[in-house]
Structure formats: structure tokens, C-alpha cells
Amino acid sequence: MQKLNVIYEDNHIIVVEKQPNIPSQADKTEDIDMLTIIKEYIKEKYNKPGNVYLGLVHRLDRPVGGVMVFAKTSKAASRLSDQVREKTFKKKYLAVVDGKFENMTGTLEDYLYKDERNNISKVVGKEKKNAKFAKLDYEVLAYNEIKDLSLLRINLHTGRHHQIRVQLSHSGHSIFGDQKYGTRGQGKQIALWAYELTIMHPITKEEMTFKCLPESNGTWCILRDLEIK
């Protein structure tokens, strides 16, 4: 069974760390995915016969790692999906990006169009058919002058396809290691990580925040000696 880092678990939800390059759910590659890994974990831990129910309520792009929550009951899945739709389901990311920022905080607002055939998104004018509004806030946490790389904390207001990657690339600060939208770090792992997740527990209604940081090596060595809140 694939090793799984379980951050929190009860009868209704399970919160885990997704490793980079594992799909959130099965895709055409037929590589092992998070849904399958967690189902196997539950089956083995609780000695459950037959199929195990597990609800996927949000996704992370395959190359991106970080914290994810899955529902262990259909009621939990429905209520968490409502939170995603109502934007009370909050995700924060860390990213290492190209260049230095003039301002330590900022907001990016764009309209994005998803090219289904090529599985990419691009910034377009708002008048373009099927363009969707995208908004995020960023805060610069650190800057490495030698490598000319900045560490950002990102707060998503909308959840568009490849949103963070596209908006940062369009602003001239592409994510290091982004094979689709980046300029630097080709062949390296993308430096984008979903580090914080806040939800309302689907049954108890308690607000819960879960955190998970990448290991501070390689590109993420910029994290060393920083206390990420």
C-alpha cells in the first residue's frame, strides 16, 4: 500500500497530504491516484469488505502537492461541496516565483479562458465568450537575491483551471518549475504547494484549519528559517 500522510481523520472526513505528481483522481494515465490510495488505506485500517465510499470535493493539479480533504460519507461530501460553491471553503498556497515584486502585497484580477483541447488556460478580455473572472491576493514572504526568486503566500478568491499558474505567469512572475506556463526551472518540480485549508466541519459545524508544508529543500530551501503562519 502506498504511504499516506494522514493529517486528520474522523468518521466523516479525512485530511491528507497529497504528494506532487499523484493525480487527485484516476485519469487516462492509469497511474495510482489519491482516491484509490485513501480507499485502500481505509479498507485496510478498518478491515472493510467490498467498495469503500470516498467523496472527492476538490482537486489539486497533478504536479502540485499539499493538503486535501476527502469525504467519508455522502452527507459530508454534499455539505463540503456546498462550501466550495459558496466560497467558504478556503485554500492558501505557497509558490516560488520568478523575479522581485515592487509591492509586498497585491491582488491579481483577470479573465481566464480554458482551452479544453490543449488543457491550458489563458488571460483574455472579459468580452470573450466563456471567459471567467479570476481573483487572487498575494503576499511576498521572502526574496532570494542570488536566485532572483520570491516566495509568495496566495489566497484564492476563485477556483479557475490552472488559475494561480496562469495569473502569475501573465503578471511576469511565473512559478519556478512550471512546465506549461513557466520560463525557469524547466525539468524541475513545480514550486506550488497548497499549504492551508479551512473548512466548516460538515457535521459539527466547527471551523477547522489544516496545514502542511513542503520539505525545505531544493527550490523550497527559501522556506528555511521562516515561520509560516
Active site residues: 61
8 Å CB contact between 66 and 194: yes
Q: Whole-angstrom Cα distance, residue 118 to residue 154?
A: 26
List Cα–Cα distances, 72 to 11, 15, 40, 116, 117, in angstroms: 7, 10, 13, 31, 33
Say if strands 6-9 and 65-71 run parallel, antiparallel, or are unpaired.
unpaired
Q: Whole-angstrom Cα distance, residue 188 to residue 117?
A: 25
**Who's near 6: CB < 8 A, 6+ residues apart?**
14, 15, 16, 41
